[in-house]
Structure 1
């Protein structure tokens, strides 16, 4: 996966999608309010500047693609890594990404608008604007200072993924071999309470099962999984949500947002991803021993490059995502399912027919072909997430 796991080249398949969008699907995609809770464009902007108000070839999200696909609300992921948490740079990196999103909207006021509340969606999207709320992926920038939750709320963050690829001061990671807290930390419980107070959605994607259980129990507002597929399809891959936890999210009134990345929806790729994090853990242990012995360290970049070559993403069709949605609807109900693509965050490892934000009509066509009513498709595309966000705001008030 991208800078989060394995850096790979962005590849766009030439094959036709398994389900091509007809006029009815195109019309519904343009008319419905589509909300994608996880797009990693800010990381790309800080790595390689681009004008996303125009067609940006290296990005899966930009304004022309978004309008072609009918995307209205694109949560910009403010992602920081475990390494940045360790070296103390997470707060700085997060603010730089927020600055990049604000600058993008300021340069293109006719194309983008910052979004702070679901009540402003209809007003701000008039004229074809794409709305940009912020989701913080990894609570590392908060550090151990509870006042930073308010700080980032004031900067526009409206959900926080409590941890990412390693335990932090808040919670354990699903990827971590060793568990630091076996749930939420004492500080993490204060963070969840503060998020409830302010009206920030609490996100249980990426965190361990123990941490997710604690979080769902501790939150007095509905919680979300911003980009989690179902573990039913990928046994032993804790990064994807279990049936038990998905039901708990739904019972709390929340929503599970389905990602598109092959690493989440393809069993072989999920197993490779899990193995990669285990291998990285072993590499880190070897480097600790080498450092203690005063010997040269193994290169993580070289390791990742070799791993990517040895574990290419398997061919995957859009059906893998549609199967996830089918399973979710049967398990927890159509009112608790949404989409969190992870575009620009998985190194181009995406299914045929879902390569960029321009491809949402293909997803609509696939759902229509499987017999979903338009009103239920609207819920999945964004209505459910907006309902949950509204409920989180109401709980704060």
Structure 2
């Protein structure tokens, strides 16, 4: 009996050693793949972060989720710089000027650091710059408000380097209804002008981003578009029932039929309902405790307390949950229709354990390797799928411009 017991213990120890060895090997492989493959992230909010708190992102920064050293460590090669326009500019005016200022900022970062960054307008340019060791900075506009009421502005922003437009943001605008706007359903989907905007985006070669729009607006886009579309920073509603900002299974299937891509958002509240419920509870608790302590909102003491309390009490999601979302898309429509759209610098302190900044993509690759994803699968998720969509958008644009009457 003793010998059998010892043998059992030995077998368990061997299995544990094999499991640990496999996990270590997957981590090493993940780190290697992160450097070997081009990683495109569909949405990173660096420009607006720097607008209010300028930092030199060519060096290590003490705050924020993105800088050059951390991006290099994580293997990030082409973060789409989000030219984010808050919805308030839809009322006050000035959206176009804000967009121009942020575009100028991104271009300035590349100009000031030519050994580290370069603007990119096509997948071909990203590949060329990757071979030179540069981080590419393609740009996408989050909120179509700067288009105003002029279709000519679509071409204007394309010429300035914008390669996708998220049609709206937190409020209905002149183009589309917003999934976040619960007070109105202004157009019951896209406006008539919005339909013209989608067609013009197809013509100039700009990707249509369906993140943030309502389900009906998505249906309108799919009916109109001549090119594949992309959800640059959305996750699966399957895990967050009732959260329209994420995509339902039916919408994901329609996106795949369009040959598009959903790029998974890393924010904890996009990943599971537990985190969604937690954030409201924690915010209420913080407000109550600030009042009890007599701390003035906005003061250094209040901000320090808020950060600490949030970190200790919010229920963070995990890197494994991001992989669950990828699994879900793959099971629904195949690995060809999923990518990465972290929303770094855009989702505040809610990032999941294991994916706290741009240095951590290998942690996700390791999890995918643990689940049996191949190197080819990971390469497609990292950049192959979004490159396919982007190149098709360019191809459709060329066809439309050739067919255009002279």
Q: Give TM class, smaller chain.
A: 0.7 to 0.9
1:33 and 2:38 are equivalent in the alignment: yes
Work out which of the residue numbers 53, 62, 65 in structure 1 matches 2:70: 65
**SS at structure 1 position matched to 2:198:** helix
Q: Where is the helix percentage greater, Structure 1 or Structure 2? A: 2
C-alpha distance in 2 between matches for 1:262 and 1:43: 21
Query: How far 1:65 moved relative to its partner?
Result: 0.7
Of 56, 60, 73, which residue of structure 2 is paired with 1:55? 60
SS in 2 for 1:125: helix
**1:265 correspondence with 2:271:** yes
Unmatched 5+ stretches in structure 1: 1-18, 280-299
Q: Choose the corresponding residue for 2:257, options 234, 246, 251.
A: 251
What residue number does 1:290 align with? none
1:357-394: CA deviations, max 9, x gaps? 10011111010001101100110111100111000000
Structure-2 change in CA distance of 1:353 and 1:249 (3 Å): same
1:126 Cα offset (Å): 2.4
3-state DSSP of counterpart to 1:229: coil
Is 1:198 the counterpart of 2:204 in the alignment? yes
Aligned to 1:340: 341
Aligned counterpart, 1:350: 351
Task: Name structure 2 gaps, 5 residues minimum.
Answer: 1-22, 285-296, 399-406
Aligned to 2:318: 317
Q: 2:218 aligns with which of 209, 212, 223?
A: 212
8 Å CA contact 1:38–1:227 kept in 2: the answer is: yes
CA distance in 2, matches of 1:390, 1:369: 31
Higher relative contact order (CA 8 A, sep 6+): 1
Cα deviation code 1:80-139 (max 9, x no counterpart): 111122111221111111111001000100100000111222212223110000010010
Deviation at 1:332, TM superposition (A): 1.4
Instruction: Please tell me whether residue 167 in structure 1 is matched to residue 172 in structure 2.
Output: yes
Preserved contact between residue 175 and residue 274 of structure 1 (Cα < 8 Å): no
Partners of 1:274 and 1:202 lie apart in 2 by 32
1:5-16 equivalences under 5 Å are none
Pairwise CA distance, 1:272: 6.8
Given that 2:73 and 2:359 are in contact with CA atoms closer than 8 Å, whether structure 1 keeps it comes out as yes
- Residue of 140, 152, 155 corresponding to 1:150: 155
Please name the residue that 1:380 is paired with: 381
TM-superposition CA deviations, 1:277-330 (whole Å, max 9, x none): xx9xxxxxxxxxxxxxxxxxxxx989xx99998996412221111110110110
Task: Give the conservation status (yes or no) of the 8 Å contact 1:231–1:241.
Answer: yes
2: CA distance, partners of 1:199 / 1:180? 28
- 1:293 paired residue number: none
- Pair 103,243 (structure 1): closer, same or farther in 2 beyond 3 Å: same
1: distance between equivalents of 2:255 and 2:137?
A: 25
Give CA-to-partner distance per residue, 1:243-274, whole Å, 9 cap, x none: 11111111011100001011211213335779
**SS of the residue 2:40 aligns to:** strand
Equivalent residue pairs, number: 357
Question: What is aligned with 1:83?
Answer: 88
| Superposed counterparts of 1:255-294, under 5 Å | 255-270=261-276
Q: Is the 8 A contact 2:177 2:214 kept in 1?
A: yes
The whole-number CA distance in structure 2 between the counterparts of 1:357 and 1:265 is 18
CA distance in 2, matches of 1:235, 1:270: 11
Q: Deviations over 1:43-81 (max 9, x none)?
A: 111111111111112121111111101111110000011
Alignment check: 8 A CA contact 1:144 1:169 kept: yes
1:341-365 Cα offsets, whole Å, 9 max, x none, are 0000011210111011100111110
1:71 and 1:357 in contact (8 A); partners too: yes
The farther-off stretch of 263-272 and 340-349 is 263-272
Q: What corresponds to 2:194 in structure 1?
A: 188
Counterparts of residues 132-147 of structure 1 (less than 5 Å): 132-147=137-152
- Secondary structure (helix, strand or coil) at the match of 2:65 reads coil
Q: Residue 392 of structure 2 aligns with which residue?
A: 391
Q: Distance in 1 between matches of 2:396 and 2:244?
A: 30
